[in-house]
Structure 1
C-alpha cells in the first residue's frame, strides 16, 4: 500500500511552464543532480511534476538499493516505487504525514522562499541482507515554474551517520537551509485546515462504517455530493481509499 500515490492530483493544480521552458530548465537540473550524487554519494530522485516522470541518480549509496551508479534511470512516475516498497510501512506512513505538512507549509510562504526549505528524517529500509536499517531521507523542491508553482522535487537517500539508539519514530523536521532554522514536525499545524467542516463530518461517518447512501440521507444532501466530498478528501490527504483517509486524518488530529 502506497499512501502517497495520489499526490499528483494535488500537483495538478500547480502553475506549470510551457514544455519548451521546462525542457531547458530540466536539462540543467539533470546535469546538476548527476554532479551532486558524485559528491554526496547519495541516491537522488528528481521528479518532474509536470510530466509525471522521475530521474534516478546514484552515487555509492546506490549499492544499498542495488542501483547502478553510472548515468541515470528514467521512470514514468513521480514515485520511486522500488524504493518505497523497501521502506518500513510505519515509517512510510509517517513520512507521508511529514510531506503533507511540508507541502501545506510551503503554501504559506512566497514562491521564492519555498526553495530554501527541506525536510529531513530517518526511515527504516530493507538493506541487501533484507534487514531493516535506518537511513537518511531528505526532500526539497529544486525549481518553481516561472509563475511560482512547485515543479521539480528532489528526494535524497543516504547512510544515516547519527546515532539512533533510544529515539522513536522518523524524527521528521523541516529545515530552512538558508538560515539553519529547524522546525520539528509533530503537531502538523499546517494541516489543521486541510479539510472543510463538511468533509470532516463525512469522514467521521465513514469511519463508523456508514455508506454513502446513508450519509446522504443523514445529512440531507445528494449521494453525488457525498461522493464528490469523498473524492476531495482522498485528494487532499493524498490517499487511495477511505481506510487510509481515516487513518491519515486521525494521525493529523483532524477528526
Structure 2
C-alpha cells in the first residue's frame, strides 16, 4: 500500500496565471534547478502544480538512485520511481509531514509562504540495495500572481547527521530566513482538517462498521455517510478508507 496519494485537486486551485506567464517563469525555474544540482550535487524534483508535471534533475547524488545526469520530465507531481526506494514507514511519515506543511502554509500570508521548508531524514535503498539514511527537503519556489502555491521543490542528498538514535524521520518545518524551526510531529495545523462528523464517521470505519451500519447508528442517510466518506478521502489525500484511517491516526485526528 502506497501511503502517498495526491493533492492534485487542491494544488490545481492554487494557480491562476495564464499558460504563457507560467511558461516563462517555469523556464527560469528549470534553469535555476539545473544550476542548483550542479552546485549541491543533489537530486531535485521541481513540480508544476498547475500542469501536473515534474522535472527531475540529477546531480552526483543521482548515482544513489541509479540515475543518469541531466533532467527528465514526468506527467505527475509525484516522483514515484524515487518513492519506491524509500522505506514504506518513512514514506508514510513524510506524507504526514507534507500534509502538515501544506496546511501550515495556508495559515500564512502568501508573501511569507516561500520562507518556509521541511527537512527530514529518511531511509532509502541505495545502488547496493541496502537502506541508508538520506536527507530530504521540500519547499515552494514560486507562488502564482494571485498568491497560490505553484512550483514545489523536493531535494534529496546524503545525510551527514548522526542517525543512530533517530526517532522516526525527525520531520521539521524550517524558516529558511531566520533559521527558526519546529518539529512537525504534533500536526497542529491539521487539527481541524476534518469536521466533528467526519471524525465520528472515520472512527466508526476504523472499528469495522460499513456505511449502512454507520447510517443507522448516527440516524442519517447512507448517501450522507458516503458523501462524508468521499470528503474524508479528499481532505486526507488518500485513495481508500484503510489509508484514511491510518493517516488520521498518524495525524492524531482519531
SS class of match (1:136): strand
* Partner deviation per Cα, 1:185-235 (whole Å, 9 max, x = no partner): 121111110100010011011111111122122222222221111111111
* Partner deviation per Cα, 1:116-136 (whole Å, 9 max, x = no partner): 000000000000111100000
d(CA) in 1 for partners of 2:114 and 2:157? 21
Give the alignment of 1:79-228 within 5 angstroms. Answer: 79-228=78-227
d(CA) in 2 for partners of 1:42 and 1:87? 16
Match of 2:17 in 1: 17
d(CA) in 2 for partners of 1:173 and 1:119? 6
Taking structure 2 as the reference length, the TM-score comes to 0.97
d(CA) in 2 for partners of 1:166 and 1:5? 30
Taking structure 1 as the reference length, the TM-score comes to 0.97
d(CA) in 2 for partners of 1:74 and 1:251? 32
Match of 1:5 in 2: 5
* Partner deviation per Cα, 1:59-79 (whole Å, 9 max, x = no partner): 100101111113x10000001
Q: Residue 20 of structure 1: CA displacement?
A: 1.1
SS class of match (1:168): coil
d(CA) in 2 for partners of 1:202 and 1:99? 24
d(CA) in 1 for partners of 2:215 and 2:242? 19
Q: Residue 4 of structure 1: CA displacement?
A: 2.3
4+ residue segments displaced more than 3 Å: none
* Partner deviation per Cα, 1:72-112 (whole Å, 9 max, x = no partner): 10000001000000100000011011111100100110111
Instruction: Tell me whether 164-173 or 56-65 shows the greater mean CA deviation.
Output: 164-173
Q: Residue 167 of structure 1: CA displacement?
A: 1.6
Residues paired across the two proteins, number? 254
Unaligned runs of 5+ in 2: none
2:75 aligned with 1:76: yes
d(CA) in 1 for partners of 2:180 and 2:2? 31
Unaligned runs of 5+ in 1: none
d(CA) in 2 for partners of 1:149 and 1:165? 39
d(CA) in 2 for partners of 1:9 and 1:226? 22
Match of 1:46 in 2: 46
Contact 1:46–1:55 (8 Å) recurs in 2: yes
Instruction: Please give the root-mean-square deviation of Cα atoms over the aligned residues, in Å.
Output: 1.0
Contact 1:16–1:151 (8 Å) recurs in 2: no
d(CA) in 2 for partners of 1:11 and 1:201? 27
Q: Residue 6 of structure 1: CA displacement?
A: 2.2
d(CA) in 2 for partners of 1:32 and 1:110? 25
SS class of match (1:122): strand
* Partner deviation per Cα, 1:225-249 (whole Å, 9 max, x = no partner): 2111111111111111111111111
Contact 1:3–1:238 (8 Å) recurs in 2: no
SS class of match (1:229): helix
